[in-house]
Structure 1
Amino acid sequence: MKIAATIAEARTLIAALREERRGSEQGNAVGFVPTMGYLHEGHASLLRRSRAESGISVLSIFVNPIQFGPGEDLDRYPRSEKADLELAEREGVDVVFLPSVDEMYPQERKTTVTVTGVTERLCGASRPGHFDGVATVVSKLFHIVKPDKAFFGAKDAQQVAVLQKMVIDLNMDVEIVPCPIIREEDGLALSSRNVYLSSEQRREALVLSRSLREAAERIQSGESVSPRRIVEDVTRAIQASPLAVIDYVEMLAFPDLVPLDEEHGLSDLRDSGGSLILAVAVKFGTTRLIDNVIMKLKEAALHV
């Protein structure tokens, strides 16, 4: 495994691997997993998917300052470089791109990538400017790494939708590959921020996956229920936790992230084979957690 601290080093290493593996059995396609580090089993699952589908596997670790808003947890965002590199080595990563802030933003930034439409709701509404920061840094990383496929976890489903839209609109030659949410045995979605939770908050946070699962089972059973009623029931279940402070509970069409019509939304989606997302963001103390379920109704399949 090679480690690149600069853009020039990353480009050189990846280009050399592409040439070396040209015509080899595993091929020279590049799979890419962009992260902010503090890696866990969710990230490891992305790296395994990248290794399975690509001849060259690249990981980036960069805590991107421009996607954090005022008062957010940039300074206290968990970091674990040694453990991250050990995990990357175990998962067969070929190149780790580990740049500094100065390397990624060496001068005053005059360019921002903004994706509209899919950024106005969910986390985009409560974290203004967040997805500008995400789209800008991922665009930069794509230009540096030049991957054939990039792998992202579905826990950040809005991020997936934003990046898919960016890639289509800007004709980027990369496939965005969404990967399933990885959960603890008790259902809590893995997140680098889980480390902030007290033991009591950790127990209370299980209400997120539990309420989402129960709502999804009702929808998939064909029960005649409106999106508004589902949102109200999930909200009520989460509010029963004394430690939970809700940012949002929303049900939207996916990946366009538009509200569902109260009269015909679910039936229309089921008839057309469309997908919906039921997504939540909730604070426990100072720790903000997100979770979701994505359902393709015609197939009656639940994706979490």
Structure 2
Amino acid sequence: MMTIAPDHTSVGFIGLGVMGHSMAGHIMKAGYSLHVYTRTASKAESLVAEGAAWHGTPAKLAEACDVIITMVGYPKDVEEIYLGEDGLIAHAREGAYLIDMTTSSPQLARRIYEAAVAKGLHALDAPVSGGDVGAREARLSIMIGGEQKDVEALHPLLSLMGSNIVHQGQAGAGQHTKMCNQIAIASNMMGVCEALAYAESAGLDPETVLKSIESGAAGSWSLSNLAPRMIAGNLEPGFYIKHFIKDMGIALDSAKEMNLVTPGLSLAESLYQQLAEKGYEDKGTQALIKYYTGV
């Protein structure tokens, strides 16, 4: 088993968006040799300036790394990066570890795992929750599917990005767990927005209302972290609406396969679709408040 330590391990990171940039930065600051690739090269400039090595393609990055982490947008991106002719599995070093932290399809995670094993590689699906704040503060929740021995080997690296690291089961289990997370958030976000809209309609001060309800039975991460942004009119993304719609679509498809009825999820997805159609797809999920206050 490879020693996952800074002086032994080169780590590749693909996808340097709102969360990925912070996550990759933590790895480099811990002393690992960091290699990066992202479709928009400018997103890598600050990390390269601090010492990260830039690669022009995922294939070139794969050839240089012992561990590769991906944090991209959509399942189609994951499939191309891992399973394409010029993808990671075709070009990774023998024995390399592949960690997909994108929220993606459980079925695709299983396919990637099987293809990786066939090439003598290790693969984990390890989606995260915690948004931009959790990524910056290295306290993400990391939900993992794959082999226990691989989770144990990679724990020192994963702990640089998250504080709640849980092995959920075999390949695909991490993605299924993330679907549970997104389903819970979807209905909760509607409740948070409706509570704030109600407070305003009743002539209350939303900030004062929040002081009373966030520490009681109504308390949630979204209420404490996103409601203040709603009140302040800050719609900038900690997590994009367009990506949340993608996640809800995956969850709806998976639920349908299991003959599970999810009316709350269906309603939330429809509301966010309406916001996207009105031009809010690149705003944060807290922009749902606009549905209740007038878009």
Same fold (TM over 0.5): no
Q: Greater helix share, 1 or 2? A: 2
TM-score normalised over the length of structure 2: 0.37
| TM-score normalised to structure 1 length | 0.36
| Greater length-normalized contact order (CA 8 Å, ≥ 6 residues apart) | 1
From the two aligned structures, give the one with the greater strand fraction.
1
